[in-house]
């Protein structure tokens, strides 16, 4: 697969949309955890990864999607997710919960290790078909988020922005942030954006509508190491 290394180079990935019936939740079970790209499971299924700053709510979004509070580990303390966690979706494909960026309290070497693992996964993982970029709606579009959006545009990797924790703002304030983000990323052909609340489930149907076609993306079979 051609995809540029994160923050450099050029490449492309193609995905197809299919008409599918909409389930109320994604039935997902834990598959495995990996500390780095090398230890990831075989890249034999399409994967959608959840990226974003630490504490933005990536793991909580996953739990809301699966309707199971225990699918992914959530914590009030940032830095809860320290490995790449893979979940198999019964409807097809996988969801991947990534460690968050910018968790200041972790030791520098631990942070560098996770971030290297995440960067390598995003840059080189065969089967990665789309990204969900989770932001806290009260602190959207931080430098890290902008870097991810620019990278996904240059890589032609579809990216769906979730303005999470929408329950923390009133309707008007939510709409204001949503419009600002839509305006800002209107020129990005592979980006879309919505409000979401992992706490309340608001926006779940819209998210499932985005994810199902991604999870049904045909991917090339991994190369046989014997050849």
| 164 touches ligand GTP (CB under 6 A) | yes
- Smaller CB distance to Mg ion: residue 76 or 171? 76
Contacting ligand GTP within 104-163 (CB under 6 A): none
The three-point CA angle 58-193-84 to 5° equals: 25
Size of the site for Mg ion (CB under 5 A): 4
Least gap, CB of 139 to ligand GTP (angstroms)? 12
- Smaller CB distance to ligand GTP: residue 13 or 106? 106
Q: Which does 66 bind (CB under 5 to 8 A by kind): Mg ion, ligand GTP, none?
A: none
Q: Which of 111, 152, 197, 217 binds ligand GTP (CB under 6 A)?
A: 197
Query: What string of DSSP letters covers 126-154?
Result: TTEEEEEEEEETTS-S-HHHHHHHHHHHH
Least gap, CB of 27 to ligand GTP (angstroms)? 20
Size of the site for ligand GTP (CB under 6 A): 25
Contacting Mg ion within 75-94 (CB under 5 A): 80-81
Least gap, CB of 219 to Mg ion (angstroms)? 25
Interface contacts to ligand GTP, rule CB under 6 A: 52, 54-60, 74-76, 78-81, 99-100, 103, 164-165, 167-168, 197-199
């Amino acid at each position: 697969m051609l995809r540029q290394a994160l923050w450099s180079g050029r490449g492309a990935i193609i995905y197809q949309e299919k008409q599918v019936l909409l389930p109320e939740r994604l039935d997902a079970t834990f598959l495995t955890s990996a500390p780095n790209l090398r230890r990831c499971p075989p890249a034999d299924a399409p994967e959608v990864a959840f990226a974003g700053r630490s504490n933005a709510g990536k793991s909580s979004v996953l739990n809301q999607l699966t309707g199971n509070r225990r699918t992914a580990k959530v914590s009030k303390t940032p830095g809860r997710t320290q490995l790449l966690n893979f979940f198999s979706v019964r409807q097809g494909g996988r969801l991947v919960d990534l460690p968050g960026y910018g968790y200041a309290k972790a030791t520098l070497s631990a942070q560098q290790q996770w971030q290297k693992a995440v960067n390598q996964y995003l840059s080189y993982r065969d089967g990665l078909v789309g990204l969900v970029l989770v932001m806290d709606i009260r602190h959207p579009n931080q430098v890290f988020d902008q870097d991810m959006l620019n990278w996904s545009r240059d890589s032609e990797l579809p990216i769906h922005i979730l303005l999470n924790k929408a329950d923390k703002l009133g309707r008007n304030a939510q709409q204001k942030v949503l419009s600002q983000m839509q305006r800002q990323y209107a020129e990005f052909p592979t980006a879309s954006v919505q409000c979401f609340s992992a706490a309340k489930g608001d926006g779940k149907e819209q998210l499932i509508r985005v994810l199902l076609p991604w999870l049904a993306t045909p991917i090339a079979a991994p190369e046989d190491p014997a050849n």
